[in-house]
Amino acid sequence: MTLSAELLATLLAVAIRYSALPAIDVAELPPIGQLSAQALAAKVCPEVPERCTTMAALFDVEGYRIYLRDSLNPGDPMDRGFIVHELVHVLQYKKHGDAYFDNCHNRIASERQAYFVQNNYLGDEGVDWREGYLVRFMRCPEEGDAGPGDARRGG
């Protein structure tokens, strides 16, 4: 998959418009790499990769890099929606810094915002589908307790 500079600029403009986060230049975007579905799952959920086999994309805060599943098609609006979602995370990172993502409540808020933007983009593209339904059920664990629904992992 090849993402043109034009397409990235367009998708970044969408992320900026719907998120209302401060604009950045395309040149400030992180490198974008491609991974197989298995490799992406292992990166997102290293302890139990089989839990993350449906992941399409990831913004790696620590490495300042976006990873996309190698089967994504930039001609498909659904697939472009995943890129928009990750671009929102980049904008959040640029505004708040990497420590923002260490807090569970911030992480859930960041996902809600990214899905909001992604879904608005899908609507603009005429796609009758919405992503992120399960984020409404995410809860932060009690102090020191990392259990099911722990929002510290994800894309």
Summarize pLDDT for 32-47 with one digit per residue, the tens: 999 999 999 999 999 9
- 2 versus 44: which is more confidently predicted? 44
Domains identified in the chain and CATH numbers: 5-137 (1.10.10)
Which amino acid is residue 49, in one-letter code? P
Compute the mean pLDDT over every residue in the chain, rounded to the nearest whole number: 91
Q: What pLDDT is stored for residue 152 in this prediction? A: 42
pLDDT(151) > 90: no
Q: What pLDDT is stored for residue 64 in this prediction? A: 97
Using an 8 Å Cβ cutoff, are 95 and 106 in contact? Answer: no
**Torsion (CA) 145, 146, 152, 155 in degrees, nearest 10:** -160
Q: What pLDDT is stored for residue 35 in this prediction? A: 96
Q: How far is CA 149 from the centre of its chain?
A: 17
* Per-residue pLDDT tens digits for 80-119: 999 999 999 999 999 999 999 999 999 999 999 999 999 9
Phi, psi torsion values for 92, nearest 5 degrees: -60, -45
Distance CA(52)–CA(29), nearest Å, equals 25
